[in-house]
Structure 1
Amino acid sequence: MRNEAPALMPIFRSQRQARLLARLFHGPDSEPSLTELATQLGVSTGALHADVERLVDAGLIHDRRVGRTRLLRANTDSHAAKALAQLLLVTFGPEHVVREEFATIHATVAVYIYGSWARRYHGELGPEPGDIDVMVVGAPDRDEVYEAADRAGERLGIPVNAVVRSASSWSQADDALVVTAKADAVLIIGEETAT
């Protein structure tokens, strides 16, 4: 199967490659294994292997072996590292930043990104997103939600707009915003079956 360039930033070879780079450059001090990355990205290690080889050969990431485990990390000494990290932050970073900022909010069943960013993530072509739309499902403290959105927006450099819907609203089809969000939602926190 042919990998298409990601609509979020079509300069990358594939969505998988961009997500791999985003994961490594988002946490440049971390050193996950190839197997861990494949699991986090929802792809096979075989599929990820070719991308890893290209990126190691290009000097954008480092690898090392500990026994049979292959560990990977961003090459922050690369001349392209700072610019690449910034580009990855504004394109694929919302997935990571929203997860981090919303992770500690109590009474949350799930967190989704929807709207233009989610449509680009799913491959729909169009202009770059001007904001990030987040739907928090559950009964969280709304002040915590809005504070998390503000922090995420500050880190990403674009507005993050958060809305809250109850689990029952999410599971029913009578809320127009929920219906719209479900059409392109990217699950960030929680499980699909939980909602």
Structure 2
Amino acid sequence: MECVSDEPISQLIRSARRQRQLSQYTLARELATVSGKPTVTRDLVARWERGHQIPRFGSRQWLSVVLQVPQERLDAAAAASRRRTRLGHAVVTRNAPVKPGPARRAQGTPALLPVFRSRIQAGILAAALLNPHRSFSLSELAEHAGGSLASVDKESRLLEVAGILTSRTDGTIRLMRAADTGPLIGPLTDLIQSTYGVPQIIGEEFGCVPGVARIMLGGVWAERFAGISGPAADSIEVLLVLARGHAGDQRMIGTAVRRVQNRLRCRVHVSTRPADAQADYLQIPHQRRGQPVVEVAPVRPRHQPATGGPWPDGRQVLTRLLNAGQLDMVSGAAANHRPFLDLAAQHIRAAEQLLDTSPPSAFLLLSEAAQLIASALLAHQGLRPATGAGVQVKGEAVVAQFGHQFSQVELLRKRSVELGDPVSRDSHISNEEAKTYLTTVRSLLSVAHNAIATLGLFTAR
């Protein structure tokens, strides 16, 4: 695992545990076994991962063994955690208010978005609405929102009753996620994105730029985040601290700026500084002395985005879909095309085996594979259909970019709807028809692999 500058130990433990595919219960059990201390429980692990408690030196020794993380890295992360005051995913590093008022308490009205009654409620909404295709445990929501499990449980249940969140159980764990539909989902997402979404969006977009070691935010937004009441921010001041030996790829920085401005709908002013600069030189331009400075961790992509640009023929259509709220810009893990193409290939292989015995089943797999291929092409450009978008959006977008061949995406979808109605005259599909569609979808997969090699992140003009 790559060492991250000033990485808090809560984040290090959580990421290392997930990399080893351990639950909090399993990690606690292994720690109790190797240390001979039955007092190591899942609740203790949860407190470590939420940043409510820093593991002592002895605990860090056993964590090093179980998580296979160097002891020195755990010690450095523990030291970094002691220097930091955590507020969600961002950290107020300088000039925070000396006496936190009600606006900064977990249960108080958040100055960043005072229409909500508490920062916990806003934090839960930020986690769920900005990551609509992911489910969160209560412990993970508590980490995002900076609150206790009891408070998060209460708030999440109220949001579920309102139809904003949905839940399911996995064993004894209750998992929450944003609802797929509802009149409040779109407006709430827009509101959260331009306020509490700033750390995630800036961390994702500038985390794609090679050499960015730290991201520091200032200006009015940082004041509101730190709990100082006032008018909403209409711009964000960003300072990128570059690792030693990196000058900063100006083209990629420019792309990140445009995408951040597209996603947040506000101006972004960016400056860069070398990591070895003196402290005074790291002052954010246009930042008044005494204003809070908020640090955001860069979100490293699992794959480096290509530096090419999207096909010019589709730019106007994609921009229209973005402006109409039918497409969203995404980055980080959501912009990884590989899982979509891998699953599409699995569906195609399964369809081949079902052709002779069950042509309708084979066809349904092929139809879903075509949808996954379209999703992959969009994801690689940092795009995905918005929550509540029309079912035809993916097909419309890829046809505009890659030509009439991809009209098969929408045709296959419509045909699968017909097959889903067993009383319809069109609900039958022959073996020969299914074989034809198999050739079609294989061709789409091949074209997608070739196109992705030339595509970069999409930016609206």
Q: After superposition, what is the alpha-carbon deviation per residue over 1:12-40, rounded to whole angstroms, capped at 9, x for unaligned?
A: 11122112101211111111222222234
Structure 2 equivalent of residue 161 of structure 1 = 269
Report deviation, 1:137: 0.9
Report deviation, 1:149: 1.3
Structure 2 equivalent of residue 144 of structure 1 = 252
Q: Is 2:145 the counterpart of 1:38?
A: no
Asked whether the equivalents of residues 165 and 178 of structure 2 are also in contact (C-alpha less than 8 Å), the reply is yes
Q: Which amino acid aligns with 1:149?
A: V
Asked whether the equivalents of residues 76 and 82 of structure 1 are also in contact (C-alpha less than 8 Å), the reply is no
Higher strand share: 1
Q: After superposition, what is the alpha-carbon deviation per residue over 1:37-85, rounded to whole angstroms, capped at 9, x for unaligned?
A: 2234444323322221221222211111110111111113122111111
User: Equivalences for 1:18-57 in 2 at 5 Å?
Assistant: 18-57=122-161
Structure 1 equivalent of residue 234 of structure 2 = 130
Q: After superposition, what is the alpha-carbon deviation per residue over 1:99-135, rounded to whole angstroms, capped at 9, x for unaligned?
A: 2211221112111222111111111111110112211
Aligned-partner Cα distance in 1 for 2:106–2:203: 29
Structure 2 equivalent of residue 65 of structure 1 = 169
Alpha-carbon RMSD: 2.3
Aligned-partner Cα distance in 2 for 1:182–1:71: 41
Aligned-partner Cα distance in 1 for 2:115–2:265: 21
Q: 3-state SS of the aligned residue for 2:199?
A: helix
Asked whether the equivalents of residues 146 and 162 of structure 1 are also in contact (C-alpha less than 8 Å), the reply is no
Structure 1 equivalent of residue 316 of structure 2 = none
Aligned-partner Cα distance in 2 for 1:180–1:168: 23
Correspondence for 1:184 among 292, 299, 306: 292
Aligned-partner Cα distance in 2 for 1:48–1:181: 36
Identity %: 29
Correspondence for 1:120 among 187, 200, 224: 224
Correspondence for 1:88 among 192, 195, 220: 192
Aligned-partner Cα distance in 2 for 1:148–1:49: 36
Considering only CA atoms, is the larger Rg found in Structure 1 or Structure 2? Answer: 2
Aligned-partner Cα distance in 1 for 2:116–2:292: 22
- Going from structure 1 to structure 2, the CA distance change for 1:174 and 1:100 (only over 3 Å counts) comes to closer
- Going from structure 1 to structure 2, the CA distance change for 1:72 and 1:38 (only over 3 Å counts) comes to same
Asked whether the equivalents of residues 168 and 175 of structure 2 are also in contact (C-alpha less than 8 Å), the reply is yes
- Going from structure 1 to structure 2, the CA distance change for 1:180 and 1:45 (only over 3 Å counts) comes to farther
Q: 3-state SS of the aligned residue for 1:127?
A: coil
Q: Is 2:270 the counterpart of 1:172?
A: no
Aligned-partner Cα distance in 2 for 1:182–1:31: 39
- Going from structure 1 to structure 2, the CA distance change for 1:156 and 1:180 (only over 3 Å counts) comes to same
Q: Which runs of 5+ in 1 are unaligned?
A: 191-195
Aligned-partner Cα distance in 1 for 2:125–2:290: 27
Q: Which amino acid aligns with 2:126?
A: A
Moved more, 27-36 or 136-145: 136-145
Structure 1 equivalent of residue 109 of structure 2 = 5
Asked whether the equivalents of residues 25 and 85 of structure 1 are also in contact (C-alpha less than 8 Å), the reply is yes
Structure 1 equivalent of residue 215 of structure 2 = 111
Q: Which amino acid aligns with 2:233?
A: P
Aligned-partner Cα distance in 2 for 1:23–1:103: 19
Q: Which amino acid aligns with 1:76?
A: D
Q: After superposition, what is the alpha-carbon deviation per residue over 1:161-186, rounded to whole angstroms, capped at 9, x for unaligned?
A: 111122222x5235543785895222
Q: Which amino acid aligns with 2:250?
A: R
Q: Which runs of 5+ in 2 are unaligned?
A: 1-104, 299-461
Bigger relative contact order, structure 1 or 2 (CA pairs below 8 A, ≥6 apart):
1
Report deviation, 1:2: 6.5
Q: Which amino acid aligns with 2:207?
A: A
Higher helix share: 2
